[in-house]
Amino acid sequence: MHEIYSLVSGPLVWIALLVFVCGSAWRIISAVMLAQEREPVIISYMSLRYSLRSVLRWITPFGATNMRMHPGMTVATFVFHICLVCVPLFLSAHVILWKEAWDVGWAVLPGTAADLMTLAVIGCCVFFLVRRITRPEVRYLTDWTDYAILAMVAAPFVTGFWAAQQWPGHSAMTVLHILSGEIMLAAVPFTRLSHMIFFPLTRGHTGSEFGAVRHARDW
């Protein structure tokens, strides 16, 4: 077990980070080059003003009309994304690892808050799963990859919570927690999780088209 832990907490961490960074850069550069090649006019009407307006509107809870039409989904989505980002970044155990590796640290979440936010992510994953199964219009658009991505996202939080509570098998869960986190990180540029890196570009494009060309709001 010690050898496996050393592998997942050492070389595989750097491989996952390298794949994430290089893969994300490649996807963004490729998307921009493809847009310039096929639709060069897109670049000409990109507007910082309207891009920022669109981004800010869509990261504001209930800021867009569609969000107000589906309040339950909106609450679940914002809780999910906020906790999904904050727990890995501000969990004390993670910050300690950064401090040990790079001598860089920052504020951490209280233990109870981290536990509640972890459970919130898991609960939201269950909500999204049930929604995909029970809503006909969503089930129609769902395939196995959607379930795989949900499992991929939930796994680091389920295993991390298990390990943190020191439940039976917590040593194995620690290894699975690190490994599942690395898999999710490396998968970001190559799956639908890539929306996290494309969000500013897609919202900027839509906001600029509606604001600078159509002279209308995109919400």
User: pLDDT tens digits for 54-98?
Assistant: 999 899 999 888 899 999 999 999 999 999 999 999 999 999 988
Residue 151, helix vs strand vs coil: helix
Question: Alpha-carbon distance 142 to 80, whole Å?
Answer: 20
Q: How confident is the model at residue 30 (pLDDT cuts 50, 70, 90)?
A: very high
3-state SS, residue 166: coil
Q: What percent of the chain has pLDDT over 90?
A: 69
Question: What angle (nearest 5°) sits at the alpha carbon of residue 142, between those of residues 61 and 66?
Answer: 25
Summarised one tens digit per residue, pLDDT across range 114-144 is 999 999 999 999 999 999 999 999 999 899 9
For 12-30, what is the mean pLDDT? 96
> Distance (Å, rounded) from C-alpha 14 to C-alpha 182?
9
Residue 68's pLDDT is 92
The CA-based angle 219-123-197, given to 5 degrees, is 45
Q: What is the DSSP string of 104-120?
A: -------HHHHHHHHHH
The burial class, CB within 10 Å (0-12 / 13-18 / 19+), for 184 is buried
Q: What is the dihedral of CA 95, 97, 99, 105, to 10 degrees?
A: -10
CB 219 within 8 A of CB 64: yes
Q: Which CATH number applies to 2-213: 3.40.50, 3.40.1350, 1.20.950, 1.10.1220?
A: 1.20.950
* Residue whose C-alpha is closest to residue 181's, from 11, 2, 17: 17
Given this model, what pLDDT does residue 157 score?
98
What burial class does residue 212 get, using C-beta atoms within 10 Å of its C-beta: 0-12 exposed, 13-18 middle, 19+ buried? middle
Which stretches within 39-110 are classed as H helix? 41-44, 48-58, 65-69, 71-90, 92-102
State pLDDT tens for residues 143-194: 999 999 999 999 999 999 999 999 999 999 999 999 999 999 999 999 999 9
Across 9-13, 39-43, 153-157, least confident range? 39-43
